[in-house]
Amino acid sequence: MTSFDPAGFTALIALIGLLVLVAGLASGLIERLGVPAVAVFLGLGAALGPFGLGLIDFDLRSPALMAIAILSLVLVLFTDAVGVNLKQVRSHARVAGIVLGPGTLLAAAITAVAAWKFLGLSPAAAAILGAALASTDPVMMRGLLRLPEVPTAARIPLRIESGLNDVVVLPIVLIGMVFLHAGGTAEAGSVGRVGLSVFLLGPLAGVLVALIAVRALVYARGWMGMRRDYESLYVLGIAFTAYAVAELFHASGFMAAFAAGLTVSSADVELCDCFRDYGEATSEMLLLLSFVAFGTSLIWTGLDVLDGPTLLVAGVALLGRPLVLSLLLPRRGLEPIARRLIVWFGPRGLSSLLLVLLPIIAGIPGAERLFPVTALVVLLSVVGHGTMLAWATHLLKARAEPEEAAAAASHGLPGAGIVGHPELITFEELERLRAAKAPVVLLDVRTSSGYQDSPLRAQGAIRLSPASPAENAASLALPREAWLVAYCA
């Protein structure tokens, strides 16, 4: 048993605390600038790592990194599954099928062939690398999907891709590990056991854990009630328990986590809404922590393998998906800007790093060689797709502003051209709206404690409870044809 390292543990706790502080303080600036949070936290990792202050570092065999990687991948799979809307999947089945099928599998195959041909990897290692690099990054994808200006025709297929393509490529990685460990000639029994674990036992364990947990929650609610914040923690407990139960029975814990999330999404909608309030924020913090950990030194190993063949494979990995989708996505019925977003925005990031780390965690000889190649692709993707994200953010917002102004004008709202931002308003704009005789309603949406403890009230403001805004707004009979200006401080 390895001895406890107090200094290393303190450094890890400090890293978590620093991450939460920086994430909170920089969140507004990152969103306004359109800069991907991934790039910021990779930079933070570099500043704290051996190339910077030298305060912390992780290697590929670090127990702390392995724990972070496993927890992160469990939460990526679980939260993505919880966010899947089956009705949206059915309504966009054609585009979603192309993105998840050929868009993922053909891209993985093209990359695998390039890695086998130009890097001299074995077929099993090349298949693992191709599958890992076909996975899109959920953190960078969320940065785009949170923009209200993104067309629905692009938002839903991209959300489905980020939610489901990890589970499409994960079986390839797990089965490839069997062949890689066996030197390329695995026995049929070994492959069958892995297939049983991945496609049957793992999902079955996840479904059973989720069903039992949701039934227990419903019973507890009706019998003695349950605090909503603890429901959020409860959902995280479902994810980790599903993983542990599956692993206990030698099944795939990752597939169990995904199946559990899908079951929760289908069984209890209120639980999913609750989860998004706290659980999704918690999972995103863990994902960003992973980027900081990889950013200390591991991600930069991609620069050590920077040569012609590796750059060629990286180019194939990044351009294979756009090539496949540009050929297969329909042009009719899909507006041009939505089509371009779907084709070109497929960032590689944390999911790729976590997937390629699985054979390394399993101790398979030669698996370490796959990591620097993956790291190089991720670095190139952060730069390329990060630039694309910033450009798309500004382009979409500029495109939406005149449309929103026209929509407001068409509804007869005076002063439609005064407010520049679709969601924010300045004091000067508020005064100009009032001077233009526009109908303006001030809403005080402070928390209960903030409202009760402060003697200050905006003149003429109406109190709107943030706990149940829709119901409260209906009871107040707020005018539909008016500017609603909310403040919380």
**How far is C-alpha 159 from the geometric centre of its chain's CA atoms?**
9
Contact 118, 312 (CB under 8 A): yes
Q: How sure is the predictor about 434, in pLDDT bands with cuts at 50, 70 and 90?
A: confident
What pLDDT score does 275 carry?
A: 59
List Cα–Cα distances, 161 to 26, 285, 488, in angstroms.
Answer: 28, 21, 35
| pLDDT at residue 474, as a whole number | 66
Q: 370 falls in which pLDDT band (50, 70, 90)?
A: very high
Q: Could you confirm whether domain 16-402 is CATH 1.20.1530.20?
A: yes
Most confident of 31-40, 134-143, 369-378: 369-378
pLDDT beyond 90 at 129: yes
Query: Closest Cα to residue 353, out of 162, 118, 104, 70?
Result: 70
Looking at the DSSP assignment, which residues form a beta bridge with residue 443? 462, 486
Q: What is the mean pLDDT of residues 420-431?
A: 74
The answer on pLDDT for 137 being more than 50 is yes
* Rounded Cα distance, 121 and 79, in Å: 33
CA–CA dist 395, 399 (Å, integer): 6
Query: Is residue 310's pLDDT more than 60?
Result: yes
Domain residue ranges in the chain: 16-402, 412-487
Q: Please check the confidence at residue 222 and state whether its pLDDT lies above 80.
A: no
pTM for the model: 0.76
Average the pLDDT over 381-401 and give the result: 77
Given a cut of 70, whether residue 213 has pLDDT beyond it is: yes
Distances (CA, A) of 88 to 33, 155, 268: 30, 11, 17
Structure tokens at 228: 């909503």
Tell me if 292 sits within 8 A of 45, measured CB to CB.
yes
The most confident of the ranges 191-195, 323-327, 431-435, 448-452 is 323-327
Q: Are 297 and 303 in contact (CB under 8 A)?
A: no
- Look-up: residue for tokens 């393509």? 165
Describe the strand order of the beta sheet including 483-487 as a list of residue ranges.
462-463, 440-444, 483-487
| 300: pLDDT strictly greater than 80 | yes
pLDDT of residue 376: 96
pLDDT for 125 equals: 94
Please provide the average confidence, as pLDDT, over all residues in the chain.
81
Residue 408 has pLDDT above 90, yes or no: no
Angle at 461 between CA 458 and CA 465, to 5 degrees: 110
403, 422 Cβ separation under 8 angstroms = no
Residue 81's nearest CA partner among 325, 326, 346, 267 is 267
The answer to whether 174 and 227 have CB atoms below 8 angstroms apart is no
Cβ pair 56, 11 in contact under 8 A: yes
Instruction: Identify the top-confidence range among 8-12, 35-39, 452-456.
Output: 35-39
Query: When comparing pLDDT for 64 and 279, which is higher?
Result: 64
Across 348-352, 358-362, 411-415, 458-462, least confident range: 411-415
Query: Tens of pLDDT along 317-365?
Result: 999 999 999 999 988 878 888 898 899 988 998 889 989 998 998 889 8
Bigger pLDDT: 428 vs 364: 364
Kindly report which listed range (98-102, 275-279, 444-448, 477-481) carries the lowest average pLDDT score. Answer: 275-279
What would you report as the CA-atom Rg of the chain, rounded to the nearest whole angstrom?
Answer: 24
Residues of the chain above pLDDT 90, percent: 24
Asked if pLDDT for residue 422 goes beyond 70, the answer is: no
Spatial distance between the Cα atoms of 143 and 39, rounded to a whole number of angstroms: 12
Q: What phi, psi does 298 have (nearest 5°)?
A: -65, -40
pLDDT for residue 272 is more than 70: no
**Which residue has 């991948």 as its token pair?**
73
Residues 74-128 pLDDT 10s: 887 888 788 777 777 787 888 888 998 989 999 999 999 999 999 999 999 999 9
Instruction: Evaluate whether 260 touches 52 at the Cβ level (below 8 Å).
Output: no
Q: How far is CA 475 from CA 459, 469, 470, in A?
A: 21, 10, 9
User: Is the per-residue pLDDT at 379 higher than 90?
Assistant: yes
